[in-house]
Amino acid sequence: MFKRDNEVTEPTFLIDVPISEKVHDKFQFYHIAELLKSAIETASKSMHICLAGQWGTGKSTVLSMLEKMYQQESEKVKFVTISVWKFADNPTSLQRKMLRDLALEFEVDVEDEFERTKNRSENLNLGGFFAAMSILIAKQRPFWLVTTILFLVLWLSSYISVPMIKE
């Protein structure tokens, strides 16, 4: 019951892994995920969603729960996860990674179009990236959902790359 002074205790570590099950949700993130799901399903057009918050506030948990909800109900919604931390100093590589992962998920071959425009100066900014993304629209894919999730990822990546200033 009581620890002795000479007893060695193991260190306790916090696990930083997003939860996806409602039973493990102690902070009611499931309700936020439900609200996001409702907003996505009732949107008539493409929309932008921002999940903003400091490290460890549950953003990834909300997205994980949202993905789990869609996996249980439908296959028409797809999630593509990209770790933006790896690309903090190279936004062009992040843009290429996002395009390739989306094309792979939606089984669209965009390599020819992407390679053709790779050397153009417009690919050094977001304009070239979104020009390449428009190929997915031309292939008649469910782009409204892709853009919803894409802009969520872009917003999070821009939020992450901005230094946090504590007031």
Q: H/E/C letters for each residue in 97-111?
A: HHHHHHHHHCCCCCH
**58 inside domain:** yes
Look at residue 150 and tell me if it is in a domain: yes
Q: Look-up: residue for tokens 């789990």?
A: 68
Name every residue whose Cβ is closer than 8 Å to that of residue 84 and which is 6 or more positions away in sequence. 94, 153, 156, 157, 160, 161
pTM equals: 0.57
| Contact between residue 98 and residue 150 where contact means Cβ atoms under 8 Å apart | yes
* Domain assignment present for 18: no
Residue 34 CA to residue 133 CA, distance in Å, equals: 28
- Give a yes or no: residue 10 inside a domain: no
- DSSP annotation of 75 reads S
Both tokens assigned to 66: 């949202």
Cα-Cα-Cα-Cα torsion 118, 89, 62, 66, nearest 10 degrees, comes to 10
Looking at the 3D structure of the chain, how many domains does it have? Answer: 1
Asked if residue 13 belongs to a domain, the reply is no
Q: Is residue 6 in some structural domain?
A: no
Residue from 77, 112, 64, 94 nearest 154 by CA: 94
Q: Which of 98, 118, 116, 100 is nearest to 108 (CA)?
A: 100
Instruction: Please indicate, yes or no, if residue 16 is contained in any of the structural domains.
Output: no
Q: What are the pLDDT tens digits along the chain (167 aa)?
A: 555 666 667 777 767 778 878 888 888 889 999 999 988 888 877 777 778 888 888 888 998 899 888 888 766 777 877 777 788 788 778 877 888 888 888 777 766 666 655 555 444 455 555 555 655 555 545 555 555 666 666 655 555 544 444 44
Domain that holds residue 151: 23-161
